[in-house]
């Protein structure tokens, strides 16, 4: 790769990192070509973009980002082979890695960047799989907002039945 190609790659990476609030770094070392292709295929099916990128190019792209992006910890974990997984859903790459690793122990999670929070190490995979996606959070909020209204309606409906029961009892006594 000549200098012009490297510069162009760094520019593309800068744009990808700027446009993606979530990305994961994984170590595919000792994965066979067939396993790597199977993992890439699984990611593609789930809408995750996977790239094998040289660490120096990733570092150069991240170094030019604003300090508030908090990429310093990400830069520290760049060593060995690196797969970068870009996703629009925060927990999807973690769930995909976990699903793929049911058959083996690779790829190993190096780290994840979730909205300026950095998760470092393979031991964070379980935590990342339990993160809720935006859609799941919205669903929970809607459910919580509907709950009080359902309680009020339920109380009103049961109150009406109690009044009818009282009226029937009074009518029966009077007759």
Can you give the CATH number for the domain in which 126 is found? 3.30.70.1730
Shared domain for 115 and 143, answered yes or no, is no
Same domain, 149 and 80: no
Residues 96 and 122 in one domain: yes
Nearest to 31 by CA among 22, 42, 17: 42
CB contact set of 123 (below 8 Å; sequence gap of 6+)? none
Domain check: are 93 and 141 in the same one?
A: no
Cβ neighbour number for residue 155 with a 10 Å cutoff: 10
With b meaning 16 or more CB within 10 Å and e meaning fewer, what string describes 87-123? bebbbbbbbbbeebbeeeebbbbbbbbbeeebbeebe
Structural domain range at position 9: 3-131
* pTM for the structure as a whole: 0.76
For the stretch 40-49, what's the b/e string if a residue is b when 16 or more beta carbons lie within 10 angstroms of its beta carbon?
beebeeeebb
Do 72 and 113 fall into the same domain?
A: yes
Q: Mean pLDDT lowest for which of 10-24, 131-145, 161-175?
A: 161-175
User: Both 57 and 15 in a single domain?
Assistant: yes
Residues 13 and 60 placed together within one structural domain of the fold: yes
The reply to whether 32 and 66 lie within a common domain is yes
For the segment 155-167, the average pLDDT, to the nearest whole number, is 65
What are 23-64's pLDDT values in tens digits?
999 999 989 999 999 999 999 999 999 999 999 999 999 998
What six digits make up the tokens of 123? 């031991």
- Could you tell me if 42 and 28 lie in one domain? yes
Quote the number of domains for the chain: 2
């Amino acid at each position: 790769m000549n200098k012009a190609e490297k510069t162009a790659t760094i520019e593309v990476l800068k744009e990808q990192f700027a446009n993606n609030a979530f990305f994961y770094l994984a170590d595919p070392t000792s994965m066979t070509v067939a396993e790597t292709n199977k993992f890439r295929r699984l990611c593609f099916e789930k809408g995750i973009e996977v790239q094998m990128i040289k660490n120096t190019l990733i570092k150069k792209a991240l170094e030019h980002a604003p300090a508030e992006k908090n990429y310093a910890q990400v830069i520290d974990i760049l060593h060995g082979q690196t797969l970068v997984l870009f996703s629009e859903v925060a927990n999807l790459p973690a769930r995909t890695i976990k699903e793929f690793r049911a058959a083996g122990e690779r790829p190993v999670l190096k780290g994840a960047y979730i909205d300026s929070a950095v998760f470092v190490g393979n031991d964070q995979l379980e935590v990342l799989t339990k993160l809720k996606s935006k859609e799941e959070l919205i669903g929970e909020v809607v459910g919580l907002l509907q709950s009080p209204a359902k309680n009020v309606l339920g109380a009103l409906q049961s109150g009406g039945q109690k009044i009818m029961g009282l009226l029937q009892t009074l009518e029966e006594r009077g007759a």
